[in-house]
Amino acid sequence: EAREASVLGYTNIYSPILDIAQDPRWGRCVETYGEDPYLVSEIGLACVRGLQGRDLPIGRNRVASSPKHFAAYGQCAGGRNFAPANVPERLFREEILEPFRKAVKIGHIKGIMPSHSEIDGIPAHTNEWLLTGVLREELGFDGVVVSDYHDVERLNILHHIVSDNTDAAKAALKAGVNFDLPISTCYKTLTDEIRGNREYMAILDKRVSEI
Backbone angles phi, psi at 122, to 5 degrees: -110, 115
Q: Identify the active-site residue in 19, 120, 148, 164.
A: 148
Single-letter code of the amino acid located at 94: E
40: helix, strand or coil: helix
Residue 114 per-residue DSSP state:
E
Consecutive H or E run containing 122 = strand 122-123
Q: Which of 105, 10, 96 is nearest to 48 (CA)?
A: 105
Strand 118-119 and strand 122-123: the pairing is: antiparallel
Buried b (16+ CB within 10 A) or exposed e, 115-128: bbbbbeebbbbbbe
Buried b (16+ CB within 10 A) or exposed e, 179-192: bbbeeebbbebbee
Q: List the end-to-end C-alpha distance of the chain, in Å, as a whole number.
A: 23
Q: How far apart are alpha carbons 154 and 104 in whole angstroms?
A: 27
Q: Indicate if 148 belongs to the active site.
A: yes
Catalytic residues, by residue number, are 148
